[in-house]
Amino acid sequence: MAVAPAQRFPHFAEWEGIYKNVRDMCAFGDALEFFYDHPGAVNNRGGRSQCTILHQAFFWGVDVGVLEKLKDLGADPTVLDNVGNVPLDMCKAHEREEMEARFLRVFGPQDGQLRQIILQAAKVGNFLEVMHFLRQKPYLVHTQNQHNGWSVMHQVAYHGGSAGLVAALSALGATWDLRTNEGKTPAMILQEMHPGNHLTIPGRDATVRLEVGSRVLLHSIRATVEAVLESVSDQQATVRPHDGESMTVPLWRISPVQALLNDLEVTEASGVPCVICSMPVPPRWKLSPACSGEDHPMCGDCVATFLWSQFTSSRLPIRCSICTGLVDLSNLPAVIGRGLFHSWPPGSSSGFTCTTLSWPQFVANVQEKLEEGEQVDNDAHKLRLQGSGSITLAYCDASAPGMRACPRCGVLIEYGGACKHFSCALCQHRFCWLCLRTEAQHTDASHNWQVAQCCTAAPVQSVIPHM
């Protein structure tokens, strides 16, 4: 059921006035000030055109500095307006080649694919992969699925992520203000999935002190780096990265290096940070002795969520998402706290995929399946399970499978959007989700490349290509 924009988008009434001033008078100064205070509203859409502030930026032809600031705030260049155009299409429509060059300079060609990878990883509960990418590019933290509006924070609530994971995402600038297309916040999802559990949403309170001269983490556009805090106010802070010049940033872009450890009254010497949520854990807590590269230990809660996500995604044998080492099921943390979320696994109180097994029984069950040689990583089988008409493409009102294999490389892709045009995140192959053909292969009445036109849908794939 469709909901009103005010129920779907955060701070919509204020945003609407800001947007109108940008649309009519190119007032980006006031807009940027508003978004620094309310970053969750940067991808709001409204009016008949359903344009975002980034659509207007490309319409007006703003300079690189404004684009950089919008990117830092989390503006998504893949959001579609009501006719299926992304912001870059505004440049092409008005023949502004210089803006196309600015777009590639600021956003790069890979961000759209990486957003899909992050959303898919979050959907299946693979927060190891999610945090790996978000720590490299924190500005992607507000990415939402265009088909249903779910963000990473919504998936954390759905999967029952730990307080440490929520705090780690909040430190990257994530907000609990974002809403799904049905108007649901992460807090609402949390109560639906785990009724009776009350997660305190992290904020800047007296327990987290930002002291001038202290070390902080700066979550910038390009990466998370250490810096020294030079000054701080209620809204912003001035920091100096170790290898750069001083800069002023919104307060939510920094976090104390010691914040998580201090809250738990744990010192650096007593543990190392979990690679997912940064909570301190014993150094020996890693997925496998075979793990290679830089150390990436994982706390008990994050191990539980990761293994459940891999098992329910049919990814056996289970491998570490960072170094691809085989997970040693006989050497995992024996105690899983799940202190905030009493249901094991996620969703067991709400009718979603669950098990009656305890954590030790679950691990033993997975181990038994592996010893029996059971392999469920069968892509063609997964596609058959999806059926032939599980989702509707909004712009052409046609039914299609919710999962396809890329016609070029064979990687499985889960649909997320409203348009039939799709690009593979792995090999960048662009194809039609309905008929699986390229644009050049749309040559007759039954195969029209226009976004609002239906094609003859291809059946569920039975043969998967491999590069």
- What pLDDT score was predicted for residue 316? 72
Sequence-ordered alpha helix ranges (H) in 61-145: 64-72, 87-93, 97-106, 111-123, 127-136
Which tokens sit at 356?
A: 């009656």
Cβ neighbours of residue 17 closer than 8 Å, sequence gap 6 or more: none
When pLDDT is averaged across residues 81-97 and rounded to a whole number, the result is 80
Using the predicted structure, report yes or no on whether residue 9 has a pLDDT greater than 70. Answer: yes
Q: What is the pLDDT of residue 120?
A: 84
pLDDT tens string 134-163: 988 888 998 998 888 999 999 988 887 777
User: Does 360 have pLDDT greater than 80?
Assistant: no
Question: Mean pLDDT throughout 103-125?
Answer: 82
Can you give the pLDDT at residue 417?
65
The pLDDT value given to residue 230: 92
19 φ, ψ (degrees, to nearest 5):
-65, -45
Instruction: Quote the pLDDT of residue 272.
Output: 77
**Ranges 135-139, 154-158, 341-345, 423-427: which has the least confidence:** 341-345
Is 70 exceeded by the pLDDT of residue 198?
no
The pLDDT value given to residue 114: 84
- Helices vs strands, H then E, count in the chain: 16, 13
Cβ burial, residue 427 (10 Å; 0-12/13-18/19+)? middle
Q: CB–CB of 1/183 below 8 Å?
A: no
Residue 241 has pLDDT above 80, yes or no: yes
Percent of the chain with pLDDT over 70: 78
Residue 374 or 57, more confident: 57
To the nearest whole number, what is the mean pLDDT of the chain?
78
Parse the chain into domains and list their residue ranges.
5-109, 126-214+257-377, 215-256, 381-441
Q: Which of 26-35, 199-208, 375-384 has the lowest mean pLDDT?
A: 199-208
Phi-psi region of 244 (alpha: psi -120 to 50; beta: other; left: phi over 0): beta
CATH number for region 215-256:
2.30.30
Of the pLDDT bands very low, low, confident and very high (cuts 50, 70, 90), residue 426 is low
Lowest-pLDDT range of 91-105, 208-222, 256-270: 256-270
CA distances from 4 to 51, 192, 327, 398 (A): 16, 21, 46, 24
Q: Is the dihedral of CA 32, 37, 43, 46 positive or negative?
A: negative
> Is pLDDT of 214 > 90?
no
Q: What is the crossing angle of helices 12-25 and 28-37, to 10°? A: 160
Question: Regarding predicted confidence, which is higher, 320 or 201?
Answer: 320
CB 70 within 8 A of CB 53: yes
Does 373 or 367 have the greater pLDDT score?
A: 367
Lowest-pLDDT range of 46-60, 186-200, 436-450: 186-200
Write down the residue that tokens 């691809």 correspond to.
Answer: 324
**CA atoms within 13 A of residue 361's CA, in its CB half-sphere:** 6
Question: pTM higher than 0.75 for the full model?
Answer: no
Number of neighbours of residue 146 by Cβ within 10 angstroms:
21
CB-count burial class (<10 Å; 0-12, 13-18, 19+) for 152: buried
Residue 400 CB-density burial (10 A; 0-12 exposed, 13-18 middle, 19+ buried):
buried
Task: Tell me which CATH code domain 5-109 carries.
Answer: 1.25.40.20
Mean pLDDT of 117-140: 87
DSSP state of 244: S
DSSP 301-333: HHHHHHHHHHHHTT--S-B-TTT-PBP-GGGS-
pLDDT of residue 452 exceeding 90: no
Looking at residue 32, its pLDDT comes to 93
The pLDDT of residue 18 is 96
Q: How large is the average pLDDT for residues 60-73?
A: 92
Q: How far is CA 175 from the centre of its chain?
A: 12
Q: If you search the block for the tokens 């001269």, which residue do you land on? A: 213
Question: What pLDDT, on a 0 to 100 scale, did the predictor assign at position 221?
Answer: 57
